Amino acid sequence: MVTSLVLPETVSVPGQPRQNTNRSYRIPFNRPTLVGKELYYISQVIHLGHSAGDGAFSKRCHALLEEILGAPKVLLTTSCTDALELSALLLDIQPGDEVIVPSFTFVSTINAFVLRGAKPVFADVRPDTLNLDERVLEGLITERTRAIVPVHYAGIGCEMDEIDAIAQKHGIRVVEDNAHGLLGKYRGKNLGTFGCLATQSFHETKNFICGEGGALIINDTSLIERAEILREKGTNRSRFFRGQVDKYTWVDLGSSFLLSDILAAFLYAQLEEREEIQATRRRIWEYYDEQLRDWATEFEIRQPVVPAHCDQAYHMYYLLMPSLSIREAFIDHLKARGILSVFHYLPLHLSDMGRRFGGKEGDCPVVEDVSDRLVRLPFFNDLAESDQASVVEAITEFIPR
Ligand SMILES: *Cc1c(COP(=O)(O)O)cnc(C)c1O
């Protein structure tokens, strides 16, 4: 069963002010939960004596994720950000290369490529799913375009048939940022298995967590051997441990991308309970969707759109309010009732960095519009039905004007 990890109110760190703003809310936006054997598995890691990366639980996570996804190779990383950085290294992204990314995403999706010298090219999103709009892609491709990085926003698949076809036609690689989408499907195929590479996040805000963590999914088998080297500080240590070489040495670029086995143990327990977690998240998502429908229709508030050919991953529940000022009033209305709701990404093309690369108002009109109006509702694995009912009640008391 799902158990909350939230400490009693009386527990605080000696000598430090309480910093967790979640505590001032009766119903937080998110909180980590234990779902199974997390703490037992962590104690096993200590007992086994291998707490660095690629221990027993890392190997179990690799095998389980490969099986769940039907992917040839999965490697745990310290974060999704690091899996993206590893992707940019693996694709040999060079200064001046262009990488196309939706403007409505987390910074890391593109920063990982900019670190290698790439120029970001920001794409607008579809008004329905808020995913990279495949219809604008052709217009953004130049002879310098090396990669497209679609993000399956809220765990709802991008139009991968069209994106893949365009990428193939121009000889461009696709890297899926699947931070929201583990266990989601597009036309029956798992998200994370479309690109030559895909990345996962196990950050505490995602569906399956270990505090901080990630994974690189390698669908192009020709990239596996080098991925193992880059991930192991540029050494062939993985081959050494398999007995394929008798010493290990420095053979390529690299960095320290391995997840501690302590965190892998926590993650493995979460992945074992994936069906229960997803069933819970589905129930939460559907409850919001059904209970808010009449209110949303009356006040022209848009609920999420899930195309029939997408099995979503139930990552979040959002609403699109009629305007920025109504969204602010809505967040304040819930706050006054002890409920934390939050907005999401700001347009990347209008950020300080985005503008430095030439981003300007009007480049991505849909992103500019929705980022002001989107609000996310409390969504975590042990959100009690009575608490969710009180969120719904507070929301339906809100009259936008
Ligand atoms: C959370 C998130 C990331 C970053 O994940 P980390 O594991 O925190 O590095 C990247 N992209 C998207 C779309 C995300 O939501």
Place of tokens 């979640």: 22
Whether residue 144 is contained in a domain is answered as yes
Decide whether any atom of ligand 1 lies within 6 Å of the 106 Cβ.
yes
Greatest Cα pair distance in the chain: 72
If you search the block for the tokens 């920063």, which residue do you land on? 111
CATH number at residue 230: 3.40.640.10
Residues 233 and 311 in one domain: no
| Residue of 77, 80, 85 to test ligand 1 pocket, by largest number of atoms within 8 Å of CB | 80
- What is the CATH classification number for the domain harbouring 310? 3.90.1150.10
Q: Same structural domain for residues 222 and 291?
A: no
Is residue 14 in a domain? no
Distance CA 2, CA 381 (A): 7
Q: Identify whether residues 388 and 266 lie together within a single domain.
A: no
Residue 235 pairs in a beta bridge with 250
Digitized pLDDT (tens) for each residue of the chain, 401 residues in all: 455 544 444 334 344 444 345 668 999 999 999 999 999 999 999 999 999 999 999 999 999 999 999 999 999 999 999 999 999 999 999 999 999 999 999 999 999 999 999 999 999 999 999 999 999 999 999 999 999 999 999 999 999 999 999 999 999 999 999 999 999 999 999 999 999 999 999 999 999 999 999 999 999 999 999 999 999 999 999 898 999 988 889 999 999 999 999 999 999 999 999 999 999 999 999 999 999 999 999 999 999 999 999 999 999 999 999 999 999 999 999 999 999 999 999 999 999 999 999 999 999 999 999 999 999 999 999 999 999 999 999 999 999 98
The CA 342 to ligand 1 mean position distance, Å, reads 17
For residue 95, what are the CA distances in angstroms to 92, 233, 266, 301, 344?
10, 22, 38, 43, 30
Q: Domain boundary at 250, 272, 294, which?
A: 272
Task: Say if residue 224 is in the same domain as residue 88.
Answer: yes
- Ligand 1 atom nearest to CA at 82: 9
Examine residue 25 and state whether it is found in any structural domain, yes or no: no
252 and 313 within one domain: no
381, 281 Cβ separation under 8 angstroms = yes
Q: What is the pTM of this model?
A: 0.94
Domain-terminating residue out of 237, 254, 272: 272
Of residues 324, 316, 367, 347, the one with CA closest to residue 127: 367
Residue 376 belongs to domain spanning? 274-396
* Same domain for 177 and 288: no
Say whether both 178 and 124 belong to one domain. Answer: yes
Domain count, the chain: 2
Q: Are residues 220 and 316 in the same domain?
A: no
Indicate if 309 and 267 belong to the same structural domain.
Answer: no
Does the residue 11 lie in any domain?
Answer: no
